[in-house]
Amino acid sequence: MEEIKLIVASRNPVKIECAEKGFSKVFPKSKILARGIAVASGVADQPMTDAETLEGAKNRAENAKASEPEADFWIGIEGGIAEPSSTMEAFAWVYIISKDRNGKARTASFDLPPKIQALIHEGIELGVADDMVFDRSNSKQKSGAVGILTHDLINRAQYYEPAVILALIPFVNTELY
């Protein structure tokens, strides 16, 4: 069985889990060796635009590659906020690098409740705002806002996993990319 060495640009267990599961589905005949490392995103702790969030995911993947150059893949996952209309949306970008190409994909988005929006406007990060509003602790390393708001019908790892799979499209269709 071929081994794929994957460096996840985060020590957050949710991000490691979704990366490992997504890669396992795309490469079912390979053993995925996923390991998380802490690297800088180069953006604000709470990215507030689509572009800033994508930049954070890309920076994380590139910084992971620079830090651990002997892997096969490096993945950056960055959660962000945007206000494209009268509401505030949460989403994430996934950015994957190999030695010869890259891929990216965005999760679905969902509207945040007004109480959380108000806290974010005060400069509080989404995960902290979730903990404050829902009386939780470290929710961003557990089910996250999406898990809390869907009553765990979709947890944070399940939410990110389809974007991991979509970001791998260029790697499984090399003749097209």
- Residue 137, number of CB atoms within 10 A of its CB: 7
pLDDT at 62: 98
Distance of CA 10 to the CA centre of its chain: 9
pLDDT at 161: 97
The arithmetic mean of pLDDT across residues 12-24, rounded, is 96
Span 65-98, pLDDT tens digits:
999 999 999 999 999 999 988 899 999 999 999 9
Span 26-44, pLDDT tens digits:
999 999 999 999 999 999 9
- Residue 123, number of CB atoms within 10 A of its CB: 9
Contact between 43 and 53 (Cβ < 8 Å): yes
Confidence check: pLDDT of 170 > 90: yes
pLDDT at 113: 96
Taking the alpha carbons at both ends of the chain, their separation in whole angstroms is: 26
40 is in an annotated binding site: no
The arithmetic mean of pLDDT across residues 116-136, rounded, is 91
Query: Among 28, 21, 30, which residue's Cα sits nearest to residue 75?
Result: 21
70 is in an annotated binding site: yes
**pLDDT band at 141; cut points 50, 70, 90:** low
The CATH fold assigned to 2-111+154-172 is Maf protein (3.90.950)
Confidence check: pLDDT of 9 > 80: yes
The arithmetic mean of pLDDT across residues 103-118, rounded, is 96
**pLDDT band at 157; cut points 50, 70, 90:** very high
Contact between 65 and 58 (Cβ < 8 Å): no
Kindly report the pTM of this predicted structure.
Answer: 0.94
String of DSSP letters for 127-175: HHHHHHHHT-SSGGGTTHHHHHHTTTSS-HHHHHHHHHHHHTHHHH-TT
Q: What's the CA gap between 95 and 29, in Å, rounded? A: 23
Q: What's the CA gap between 168 and 171, in Å, rounded? A: 5
What does the domain layout of the chain look like in residue ranges? 2-111+154-172
Contact between 76 and 110 (Cβ < 8 Å): no
Confidence check: pLDDT of 145 > 70: yes
